[in-house]
Amino acid sequence: MTIQARWNQFVDKCLSCRACELAESRQNVVVWRGGIKAPLMILGEGPGADEDRLGKPFVGRSGQLLDLLLSSFDLKEKDYHICNIVKCRPPGNRVPTREEAAECRKLLSEQLRLVRPTVYLLMGGTAYKYFTGSDEGITRVRGLWIETNNCFVMPTFHPAYVLRDPRKKSLLWQDFASVRKKLEELSFLPPLRIDAGEI
Ligand code: URA
């Protein structure tokens, strides 16, 4: 079976998932945007109202900041795969419960096996906690690479947090710069060129 066929099958499985009660209130199951095969996986917490309505992750205000970061570091759709810890919107944008995250992890693990990213960017404390199983605060761990099974994991702030506290903006940019550099070191991307015309 081609990767596209396997991917389509996986998406269908997600769309029909009713494993937790988030299925009751969702409008859409939010699976991903970006490349199906991508060296970088970007993980958020869970869909908000805009994502639920449109069926794609990070398409609201946080998504606008994320897109600005991606384009600033010349990251293209084929380079990244964006998804969330849970694929359905928690009502009122509450944090997903441990049980919801655990149910959805089964789909996320399948997703990882299909996408096979080498670099992970975990955005926000919830993504960090549920992805790694660690309870350490995001402020302590952000910006520090975790190396595991030949993969590289970078925890960082969630864009929504940075929008609420713009003093944290430069740290989010720094972490994106580290991710870009790592993708270059691993030969997934050429060195970032700054066009003299832009200076
Ligand atoms: N916040 C998230 O964590 N994920 C989204 O998809 C949108 C906002």
- Give the pLDDT confidence of 114-154 residue by residue, as tens digits: 999 999 999 999 999 999 999 999 999 999 999 999 999 99
Q: Is the CB of 44 under 6 A from ligand 1?
A: yes
Residue from 28, 29, 32, 45 to probe ligand 1 pocket by mutation (most atoms less than 8 Å from CB): 45
Query: What does the pLDDT look like over 9-33, one tens digit per residue?
Result: 999 999 999 999 999 999 999 999 9
Q: Which structure tokens are listed for 179?
A: 């991710």
Ligand 1 atom nearest to CA at 126: 3
Q: What is the pLDDT of residue 193?
A: 80
First to last CA, the chain: 48
In 3D space, the residue among 152, 91, 149, 162 whose CA is nearest the CA of residue 123 turns out to be 162
3-state DSSP assignment of residue 81: strand
Ligand 1 atom nearest to CA at 62: 8
Let me know if 83 is exposed, middle or buried by CB neighbors in 10 A (0-12, 13-18, 19+).
buried
What CATH fold (topology level) applies to the domain 19-183? Uracil-DNA Glycosylase, subunit E (3.40.470)
Q: Is the CB of 52 under 6 A from ligand 1?
A: no
In the sheet with 119-123, reading across from the earlier edge strand, the strands are: 33-34, 80-84, 40-44, 119-123, 151-156, 146-148
